[in-house]
Homo-oligomer: A and B are copies of this chain.
Amino acid sequence: MLSKKTQYALKALGYLAAKYGEGPVLISEIALQKKIPIKFLETILLELKQNNILDSKKGTGGGYYLLQPPKKTTLAQAIRLVGGPIALLPCVSINFYEKCEDCDEAICGLNKAMRITRDATLKILEKKTLAELIDGR
């Protein structure tokens, strides 16, 4: 299961994807529409900005907006930036790999099963983009 933080990030990105090209969107608007605690959302959006997925404008008429068209960012990228691992186990994670202390990965049955699972998941998440998060598509 994805963390709340990641879930919120995906919802916010979907909201911004739907409004792409319409100028900055208020944090408060996203928080209200997607039912996200506003202070928590602040930190999430800031993190996404620092990772060059979003940009922002201060002051009147300010807010957040996607730096690139929705199709340019995959769900796999988005999840990894804020939420961390996509794989079910550390020992089969690509970006958050940790070695098992108790097994030889070359012959470990659990490792093998989870690697296959991860590949199936990634195949989907690396193809889908923020554009797919827009409702009714």
Which A residues fall within an 8 A CB radius of B? Answer: 1-2, 7, 10-11, 14, 33-35, 75, 84-85, 87-90, 93, 101-104, 107-110, 112-113, 116-117, 120-121, 123-125, 128, 132-137
Copies in the complex: 2
Query: What is the bound-complex CA distance between A90 and B85, given in angstroms?
Result: 18
> With A109-B137, A132-B112 in contact, do A85 and B120 touch (Cβ < 8 Å)?
no
A96: min CB distance to chain B, Å: 8
B109/A117 in contact, CB under 8 A: no
> With A87-B1, A102-B34 in contact, do A107 and B120 touch (Cβ < 8 Å)?
no
Q: Which of B14, B101, B107, B125 contacts A135 (CB 8 A)?
A: B107
A109/B134 in contact, CB under 8 A: yes
Q: List 17 A-B contacts (CB under 8 A).
A: A1-B88, A1-B89, A2-B88, A7-B89, A10-B110, A11-B102, A11-B110, A34-B102, A35-B102, A104-B135, A109-B133, A110-B133, A112-B132, A113-B128, A113-B132, A117-B124, A120-B120
Q: Which of B1, B123, B124, B135 contacts A109 (CB 8 A)?
A: B135
B109/A14 in contact, CB under 8 A: yes
Query: What is the bound-complex CA distance between A126 and B88, given in angstroms?
Result: 15
Most B CB atoms within 10 A — which of A2, A33, A88? A88
